[in-house]
Amino acid sequence: MDHKSGMYSFLILCSILPSSIGIVQSPPRMIKQPPTDELLFQVKSRQDENDKPFIIECEAEGEPAPMYRWEKNGEPYDWQVYDERISQQPGRGTFLITKPRDEEIGEIFDYRRV
């Protein structure tokens, strides 16, 4: 983490966890995930700078359709509390973070289950 440059990083793990309830017709399969284990992002340090949005890709397919659950630093991650700054693409686990802030620092995990 480099506070002087405004660059931050967090670790990302995408994994698939099938549910033990019900019959799985097609097990979940990873389609998209972040290119590396660590994703760097920049937080604007001055008012006159523009925000630098970033995407955390996470997508799986399966029957029934996978459901997504996120964790941050080992705890459930309630991304909806960040107003419009963070959104999850419909039917996918992919996040769009439009206005990164210091609170995004940490280990964020995405779990898919069917």
33-83 pLDDT per residue, tens: 776 666 666 666 676 767 778 888 888 888 888 888 888 778 888 878 777
Contact 41, 30 (CB under 8 A): no
Query: Which tokens is 12 given?
Result: 């990302």
- What is the value of pTM for the model shown? 0.61
- For residue 1, the model assigns a pLDDT of 45
Contact 30, 66 (CB under 8 A): no
Find out whether the peptide bond into 64 is cis, omega within 30 degrees of 0: yes
pLDDT above 50: residue 98: yes
Which residue did the predictor score with more confidence, 87 or 74? 87
Percent of the chain at pLDDT > 70 equals 55
Please provide the CATH number assigned to the domain covering 7-113: 2.60.40.10
Domain boundaries, the chain: 7-113
- For residue 114, the model assigns a pLDDT of 43
- Beta-bridge partners for 12: 108
Rounded CA-CA distance 97/42 in Å is 11
pLDDT above 70: residue 92: yes
